[in-house]
Every structure is written in structure tokens, then in C-alpha cells.
Amino acid sequence: MATAATDRTAAPEPAPHVLVVPYPAQGHTIPLLDLATLLASRGGVRLTVVATPATAPLLAAHGDAVGELVLPFPSHPAFPAGVESAKGLSPALFGALIVAYAGLRAPLGDWARERSGGPDRVAAILSDFFCGWTQPLAAELGVSRIAFLPSAVYGTAVLHSLFRRMPQREDGDDESPIGFPDLPGVPVAALTLLYRTYRDGDEVSEGVRRNFLWNLEASSFVSNTFRRLEERYLAAPLADLGFRRVCAIGPLAPDAADAASGRGGETAVSAADLCVWLDGFADDDGSVVYIRFGSMAVLQPPHAAALAAALERTGVPFVWAVGTTAPLPEGFEERVAATAETVAALRHRAVGWSVTHCGWNSVLEASAAGVPMLAWPMTADQFVNTRLLMEEAGAAVPVSWGGIQAAPEAEEVARVLETAAGGQCAHVAARAKELAEEAAATVSDGGASRQELDELVRELRELGSEPKE
């Protein structure tokens, strides 16, 4: 007697599970969350984002696109108890935060190993370049790690090259340039404090250096940049980045539809109210100056005083995103009544220039909006970013090179404001508009950044197709 075969449809393999590890600073966490959301929208991968109680609220703006894993912030004797992020943190503690955050390696490894034999096993790790400790973790788990660059490729290559090569610095000589294999030379004064304050044998210094050396073992880098902005540094693998491939998927900047979505937290002035005020300049497009110094920077009183005096002296209309820590001169806010904290203003036709510290997220947001920049770098990679914007992109004019240590005179700041507002830098404004067109094209369907994103999704799917030997 013949028996009919029973059709049995095998259950489909679950999508590869990618562990995403941001660094606890808004300028790092938000773009990596934006990338995770984009990856999820492409389908075929599942993502779990690691957070601590202080950074977990930032995931709310990304809905159900990604899962979350909230772990207690690790304690470390070199880092103050109760602090969980870089917001408002003294630059002197940046290195200690990198080292303290590495304490997540053990609990995260335990969590991943518990899932190693099932459908939720981790197939790959995508992590911020300040989380170099995820490289040995990935090796322990037998998976690949892709390092996320929230900064320019140029600035990131400088940082990694410094800690790999450890070039000698002449004491007291801040103007002599340090050379690099594939990059323009950089004056000592423009180097990040993480390198300038390195002390041989110091636990934090050695931990910071180890962080960057681990990154050079990653399978590849994925960068929040775009080719027309950094063509020189994306044309071929750089020796300064260990000849690793760089996938350019930016700009990961909010578009007009979600610039006011609150992805960075609540603001003191609503985007709607701000835009109503800006609408009053309809007959004078490009006359307003937008001012912002980032989520991590705390503007020093002499710098704030010089800027405030210059604004009052020139009478230039402005929006100043001061946050809650900017030391405004007494009575200034009452006299001018024009402070806010939102990036929605950048997209308004009334905004003609942006005063910025040249943190990379601010650079990308201004570039995507087509707004030329008045560059006022303070620390970290901001000096290198300013050089890129001025000498290669042609989309910025310098305000001051003094950084945190030296505030400019109010007269000098006023001169720069008047020059920009007076239309004497039209060529810079024109180049900024071109950058915006290029940024829009690269993230549209068929654009270079979207093609790189799709290639990254394919790579992640392949990494998860079978366990790595």
C-alpha cells in the first residue's frame, strides 16, 4: 500500500542578529542609531542596541526598528560615579570615559554567550570607534566586528595614525606640523588632547591607545561621511587606517521632515515657534546667523562674552542654541531674547550662516542644509575638520584658531560676522549650496552612499549565514 509523503516546509532561518554598541555621547550615539534604523529598514538583519540607563531614552525616537539591551554603567576609579555620558564632561575626562565604558565587555560577553547556540546568536558587532574593546570581544565570540566612524575619515585617520606611530612632539613647539603617510601634516596645537596628554605607563592613557589599536584589527570601517566631501580620503585605503576598507554611508543628518523630531532630546523653544520667528525674515533670505557649539562642548565664559559682544555690536539677527550650560553674560538673554536649542533652524531659508565648533555632526547638518560655516574649533578633531572644510570643501570661513585656551577679541568676531553677513564671502556660500546638492544626491536611491549602505546590509547578511569558524 502506497503512502503519501507528507510535505514539510522547513522553518526559515532567522535574520542575522547584529549587536550595535554606541559610545555614550550624543554626537556618537545618535548617528549610530540612525544607521541602525536604516539597516533595519533594508530588511534581512535584526539589530540589538546596547545602552545604559542614561542613554536608553535616545532609543525612543527610533521606535521598534531595533531592540535594546540596557546594562548598568560600569564603575571605574578614574571616572566620577553617577556620570554616564560625555554631555557636559570636562575634556580632561574624555579618556577616562573611554576606559570606564570598556567595563561593559564582560557583561556583554556573558549575554552574547548565553545566546550562542540559538537563533539569537550574535552574527556580527557594529560598534563606535571609541568602543575598541568590542574587537577582542568579537574575537572571543568568533564573529566579525565593523567599526563605526562618527567623525570625518580624515580626522579619524589622524587620530589612529597618532596612536599607532606615536610621533615625537617637541615641548613648547605648537606650530611645527606632524606628518602622516597619506594625510596632510597637522600642527601640534591642532592635535586632540587625547594624544597631547598621553603619559607612558598611565592606565587611562594606555587604555585609550589600546582602544585605537584594536580598531585597526576590525574587518572594515563604516563612516558617517560622503564621497564628494572626502573624496581624497576615500579614493583608496589609507595606511593611517591600517589599509582597512571604509564604507561611506553619510550624511546621517535629519532631513526637513524630521529635523524637529526631538531625536536629541527636548528643546527650550519649539521648532514651530522658531520657524514663525524666522518667517519674519521672508524678505531678507539668508540674513540670520545660526549658532551652536554642540552637545558636548561647554563654551568658556571668555568665548561666550566675545561672541555676545560681537552680536550686540553688529546687530546681526541670530539664533543661538545655548543649551543649559552656556555662560551667557549677565542680562544678554533679556536684551536679545533670541536663544534656542534645535537644528530645525538650519533648514529655514532665512538662515544664511552657521557659527560652529566644527564637530562632525554639526558639519554634516550644515552641509546637508546648504549653510556655509563660520568655523570656531575648540578641541578634539574640530581643528582638522575646519581645515577640511576650508581648504578642500571651500565651505567655511574661520572665526578663531585659539581653541579652548584663547578667546578672540569681540572686535575680531564682529569683523567676521559683518564680512559674512555683508555678502563678501559669496563664493563660500555658493560652495555650501553645491555640497547640499551633492549630499542629497548621495543618499537618494541609486546614490553612492545608498549603494554603500546596501553593500553593508549584504555583508551583514553573509556574516550571519553560518557560524564563523
Q: Give the model confidence (pLDDT) of 362-401 as tens digits.
A: 999 999 999 999 999 988 889 999 999 999 999 999 999 9
Question: Residue 447's pLDDT is what?
Answer: 95
Count other C-beta atoms under 10 Å from residue 235's C-beta. Answer: 9
Annotation says 128 is catalytic: yes
Distance CA 374, CA 337 (A): 22
For residues 287-311, average pLDDT: 85
The band of 347, judged by pLDDT with boundaries at 50, 70 and 90, is confident
Across 50-54, 193-197, 336-340, 403-407, the highest mean pLDDT is recorded for 50-54
pLDDT value at position 257? 46
pLDDT value, residue 1? 43
Question: What is the pLDDT, as a whole number, of residue 328?
Answer: 65
What's the confidence (pLDDT) of residue 65? Answer: 81
| Residue scoring higher pLDDT (2 or 119) | 119
14 contacts: CB under 8 Å, gap ≥ 6? 46, 119, 120
Q: Of these residues, 17, 28, 303, 348, which one is catalytic?
A: 28
pLDDT for res 79: 95
pLDDT of residue 264: 52
What pLDDT score was predicted for residue 469? 47
Q: 219 to each of 22, 87, 214, 286, how far by Cα in Å? A: 18, 30, 11, 44
Average pLDDT, the chain: 87
What does the pLDDT look like over 124-141, one tens digit per residue? 999 999 999 999 999 999
If you average pLDDT over residues 81-98, what whole number do you get? 91
The 10s digit of each residue's pLDDT in 411-433 is 999 999 999 988 889 999 999 99
> According to the model, what pLDDT value does residue 87 have?
85
Higher pLDDT, 39 or 170: 39
More confident call, 268 vs 98:
98
Q: What is the pLDDT of residues 263-283, one digit of tens each?
A: 555 555 566 778 888 888 867
Confidence of residue 438 (pLDDT cuts 50, 70, 90): very high
Of the two residues 208 and 171, the one the predictor is more confident about is 208
The reported pLDDT for the residue numbered 163 is: 95
Is 303 a catalytic site residue?
A: no
Residue 6's pLDDT band (boundaries 50, 70, 90)? very low
Each residue of 281-291: b (16+ CB within 10 Å) or e? beeeebbbbbb
Percentage of the chain with pLDDT > 70?
A: 84
- What average pLDDT score do residues 8-21 get? 78
Residue 285: predicted pLDDT: 77
What percentage of the chain exceeds 90 in pLDDT? 65
* Active-site residue, from 34, 62, 76, 128: 128
Q: What is the pLDDT of residues 48-72, one digit of tens each?
A: 999 999 999 988 877 678 999 999 9
